[in-house]
Amino acid sequence: MYIKIQDENFNAESLPVIALLAAEGEPETVSLDPLRGEMRDFCRRVVINENFRGEAGKLLVIPVADKTVRFAVVAGLGPDGDITPERVRAAAFSAARAAASRGCAALSLTMPKAGDADRSRAAAEGCALASYRFDKYLTRDGKDRFVKLEEVVVADGCEKALEEGRILGECQCWTRDLANEPGCVINPEALAAKAQELAAELGLKCEIWDEKRIADENMGAYSAVASGSANPPRFIHLTYEPENAKGHIALVGKGLTFDSGGLDIKPSEFMLTMKGDKSGACAVLGAIRAAAMMKLPWKVSVIVAAAENMPGGSAYRPDDILRARNGKTIEVNNTDAEGRLTLADALCYASELKPDMIVDIATLTGACAVALGSTTAGLFTNNDEFGDKVLKASSASGERFWKLPMDDPNLRELVKSPFADLVNSAGRYGGAITAAMFLEAFVEKEIPWVHLDIAAADFAKTPFSYYVKGATGFGMRTLAELIREL
């Protein structure tokens, strides 16, 4: 998709859709710029007849009998004093989605204070996300008019912010595509191949380890999880390193390309959507893609311990004791608590790189989904200052995270085992917190670290806001925004 600023010679009526993001007011005063003449008068009558006031979340699509313009679309932003980037992002998505669903691949977009960088960035993200639909395996219905947007022209926008927003939105769409692919398409080897393609496209460094190298590198926890599958694991390390980098951040993503639960097998209804257990890995791959495309000044290391958790004859068992890369031993009491085992070795490796900070992101616990629902994810940290930076980035991106406590000594006792240093599952109560406490044991104490638990937020069962049904790519824009703001 191409997003550009309207120049002095541009005529909004040269495109099939004129999209207006309007502040709330009486129908007679809702802004209809840049409509002119008879078209403006007609649309004003429709706005009044429909009693459209520009409330946040409201959309009015007006068919226009014009030689070029097919629709005028008015999306509400709410009261002028309460217009946030998130409202702009959602309104731009609604307006652009209305155009795409009606077969229109180009639109002009006008909004209040478009020169504000945050608003321009948000509007571009919304337009980029509006083109998303995972229809690779669908036979197209002849009645389906949906097209992907090719051109968006923004009046008085901020050029740099529009380009950043386009990249962020398109990278989240890329992340969603990867996360939506089923386990028969994306297994650990295929995910590693995707990482290699990404590296070739953007000039990144890429290192892939096979199962023998993984075992030789003393990744006993990760190797155990992969042992029950016919598809071998792959350890992925991507690096984006600009000249004179300001610092180094490591992003670790959970990469279970399918999770059956292992020998503690999941009930069938909970196994559905487990293609999405690689969503953390997809998010970090999307984030490094965005960082490289925006040419951000931070070195970024992306680490993924890709595996399948399957109940084969060689699968690891409850009661097994595993040794992680840093030497700590782990008693297995639930083979369906596998993600933290793969992350343990990945976090050890990330710590050895001596980055300035580490963020891991994972569809880790159902407990987090129970606590926060499916549209807010959990944040855990060993460093409140760094945690607040991630929360600030999430607020800017519109992705909701909530910080949960890590200071309960009673919960910490539950992570201990009488037979090993740690137990891999500390039970149902406080399960998201004890999982984070487990992961903390594999991060060097002096490195600021944040753990993001995106369980349930990674998949939308029903569409909402600018999310369509399926993988959401949740967390990718937060990570990219964090790197942009550092």
The answer to whether the beta carbons of residues 67 and 78 sit under 8 Å apart is no
Catalytic one among 97, 340, 389, 477?
340
Report how far residue 4's alpha carbon sits from residue 15's, in angstroms, rounded to the nearest whole number: 13
CA distances from 64 to 37, 38, 131 (A): 13, 10, 23
DSSP letters spanning 279-330: HHHHHHHHHHHHHHHTT-SSEEEEEEEEEEE---TT---TT-EEE-TTS-EE
| Whether residue 297 has a cis bond before it, omega within 30° of 0 | no
Phi, psi of 70 (to 5 degrees): -100, -35
Cα torsion 251, 405, 176, 95: sign: negative
19 HSE (CA, 13 A, CB side):
32
pTM of the model: 0.97
How many Å apart are CA 234 and CA 223, to the nearest integer? 10
User: Quick check: 254 and 325 in contact, CB under 8 A?
Assistant: no
CB 66 within 8 A of CB 37: no
In the chain the domains, ranked by start, together with CATH numbers, are: 2-156 (3.40.220.10), 170-485 (3.40.630.10)
Active site residue 266: yes
The pLDDT score that the predictor gives to residue 4 is: 87
User: What token pair was written down for 293?
Assistant: 């495309």
Which residue type occupies 304?
V
How long, in residues, is the chain? Answer: 486
Vertex 304, ends 303 and 307: CA angle to 5°? 160
Q: Which residue has the tokens 């946040």?
A: 56
Using alpha carbons, list the distances in angstroms from residue 323 to 103, 188, 235, 343, 481.
56, 22, 17, 13, 36
Please return the burial class of 421, using the count of CB atoms within 10 Å of its CB with bins 0-12, 13-18 and 19+: middle
Identify whether the C-beta of residue 279 lies closer than 8 Å to the C-beta of residue 377. no
DSSP 399-439: -EEEE-----HHHHHHT--SSSSEES---STTHHHHHHHHH
* CA dihedral of 352, 357, 363, 366, whole degrees rounded to 10: 110
What's the CA gap between 149 and 128, in Å, rounded? Answer: 8
pLDDT tens digit at each of 486 positions of the chain: 889 898 777 888 889 999 999 999 999 999 998 898 999 999 999 999 999 999 999 999 999 978 899 999 999 999 999 999 999 999 999 999 999 999 999 999 999 999 999 999 999 999 999 999 999 999 988 889 999 999 999 999 999 999 999 999 999 999 999 999 999 999 999 999 999 999 999 999 999 999 999 999 999 999 999 999 999 999 999 999 999 999 999 999 999 999 999 999 999 999 999 999 999 999 999 999 999 999 999 999 999 999 999 999 999 999 999 999 999 999 999 999 999 999 999 999 999 999 999 999 999 999 999 999 999 999 999 999 999 999 999 999 999 999 999 999 999 999 999 999 999 999 999 999 999 999 999 999 999 999 999 999 999 999 999 999 999 999 999 999 999 999
308, 403 Cβ separation under 8 angstroms: no
4, 102, 266, 469: the catalytic one is 266
Which amino acid, residue 335?
T
Q: Residue 62 in contact with residue 72, Cβ under 8 Å?
A: yes
The residues near 110 (Cβ < 8 Å, ≥ 6 apart) are 12, 18, 19, 20, 21, 33, 34, 154, 155
CA distance 62 to 454: 38
Residue 314, CA atoms < 13 Å, CB-side half-sphere: 11
What confidence score (pLDDT) does residue 389 get? 98
* Strand pairing category for 299-309 and 234-240: antiparallel
